[in-house]
A = this chain, B = another copy of it.
Amino acid sequence: MPYVAPVKDMLFAMNELAGLSEVVAYPTYAEAGADVDLAPAILEEAAKFNQDVVAPLNWPGDQNPSSFKEGVVTTAPGFKEAFEQFGSAGWQGVVHPAEFGGQGLPKLIATACFEMVHSASLSFALCPMLTDGAIEALLTAASPELLERFVPNMISGEWTGSMCLTEPQAGSDLSMVRARAVPEGNGAYKIFGTKIYITYGEHDMAKNIVHLVLARTPDAPEGVKGISLFVVPKFLVNADGSLGDRNDVHCVSIEHKLGIKASPTAVLQFGDHGGAIGYLVGEENRGLEYMFVMMNAARFAVGMQGIAVAERAYQKAVQYAKDRVQSRDLAGSPGPVAIIHQPDVKRMLMTMRAYTEASRALAYYAAAAYDAQHADPDEAVKKANQAIYEFLVPIVKGFSTEMSIEVASLGVQVHGGMGFIEETGAAQHYRDARILTIYEGTTAIQANDLVGRKTVRDGGATAKVLSQKIAETEKELAASSSADAQAVLKQLTLARAAFEEAVAYILANAKSDVKAVYAGSFAYLRLAGLVLGGWQMARGLLAAERLRETDPSFYSAKIATARFFAENLMPQTQALATSIVESGYSTNALEVEQF
């Protein structure tokens, strides 16, 4: 099943909801050549590349996963060649600084490009995604010398990056990291330890791998305040930039996984043969802080993976539903019809479509906030956008990935018995999507972040700002006379009230009844995703009503999808608010031995 990048939908979200014209007008992006006409040109290029080169590798990659033998990982057929093309075409550097060979374009544009790579193949896209994360970590804190030595070759796609955080005893809780870094006196360190779940921690797609590794120096304090960040290349780099000795980091196995099988997930052993040479990034003991910058980028990216796999699953389900003839139309048809005419199939497809569009719109909106945070000349505007971006990151990550599992599962369901047969391909999305709510911080981690750092810490200020923005959209809806706008207004108003009820409950009880509040953290994240996603859909409806005459089929579909989201999905916000406010006690009522 081919993938067709939804360029028109992406541009709609970028132009009408994320404010592309304002973003590209920032001097830093304008200087890089960005304008409103650049976006469609780049998106069309990205679409071509991902449709033609990457997407065809996805199913074969699942059937011929990366393999491990005597320390060497061989990736799936075609991956190496496709990644060479990816790098040489400049796709790794879209968002990165021109001084290191990047294009310096807004995250908003890069996000749309990356959505396509993820849709084409989650497994493939993980390699540039992790490289992106490693570049981001280096840009955050590395010395000019380290930057010069590593970043240009990563941006060009000649080398890739990995993020080495997790250890067997340190998963969600990085305070338990035990990897050691022993100073050598010459600015270098020797690194010792085991890292697990390292995506593309070993592979054959690039000449070198630049591992970003969390470890402790000998005198570091306990806990998260004693973690430092090191860059540990697979091959050492000589002064002239050429590759030197093999470093003492070795892959000892890769995992046998449920999905994303083409991407190797490595167990890496550092320092078993004397110590792996590493270089400190930034200052000692500030590793987690740097990691958080990078993790926000990676979490956002994983959220995009959710949207991307949902889009792919949706396209596949639509195609099947149009092709598969079975049963008569409920209203009575002379003979059997394509199943897309059955209301429950429409319900499934609309659910898939509405979740995907809403999540995409919210993610792009967040990307634009990130761009404003970095490029707006006004400090107050920067700060305001930073708060919004940081509030949205756990939602983009948590909500989009949770919905992607549901959407991929619906994709299987639309196919009926065929969906359960591996060769059909729908099951691959169901398997692949299942990792997204786990890596880069489980949904619980995102939900706790949303409650603690993003809602309670500022006394609900950012939540209130978003609430006010929604209320403004409600006013605009009220001004439209259409039945669609009125239907959306009704549900959006209720959803906003549910959101505000939840925020008020959390603020009032976060100190006095912490376990009850966090028992509702997942529900709060989901509620926030529904109301904010539904808000973007409502804004989309308003834009579509304005633009309707220019393309009636496209815009009337936007309007109907917004209304479906409001009437079919957004009402869940009421149930979630009830559960947040009422079920704190019963969630925690059982003693451990009663389970």
Contacts and interface: CB of A to CB of B under 8 A. Distances in A.
A344 B447 contact: yes
Interface string A570-592: 01111110110011011111111
A102 interface: no
A587 B556 CA distance: 13
Given A255-B421, A417-B171, A434-B430, A568 B563 contact: no
Interface size class of chain A, counting residues whose CB lies under 8 Å from the partner chain: 35 or more
A349 B421 contact: no
A146 interface: no
B344 A586 contact: no
B438 A427 contact: no
Interface string A508-549: 000000111011011000000000000000000000000000
Interface stretch (A49-57, A234-242, A408-416, A458-466): A408-416
Copies of this protein chain in the complex:
2
A166 interface: yes
Contact of A564 (B172, B255, B586): B586
Nearest to A342: B444
A423 B253 CA distance: 14
A443 interface: yes
A335 to B, nearest CB: 10
Contacts of A593: 553
Contacts of A447: 344
A338 interface: yes
A578 B94 CA distance: 44
Question: Chain A binding site: helix, strand, loop or mixed by DSSP?
Answer: helix
A421 B256 CA distance: 6
A461 B345 CA distance: 28
A416 B172 contact: yes
Given A336-B176, A430-B434, A567 B583 contact: yes
Given A258-B422, A343-B587, A349-B595, A327 B560 contact: no
A431 B586 CA distance: 30
A330 B518 contact: yes
A274 to B, nearest CB: 29
A326 interface: yes
Given A442-B413, A564-B587, A592-B322, A519 B571 contact: no
A133 interface: no
Interface in A413-454: 413, 416-417, 419-423, 427, 430-431, 434-435, 437-439, 442-444, 447-448
9 contacts: A176-B326, A255-B421, A322-B592, A331-B515, A338-B592, A412-B434, A419-B438, A560-B594, A564-B587
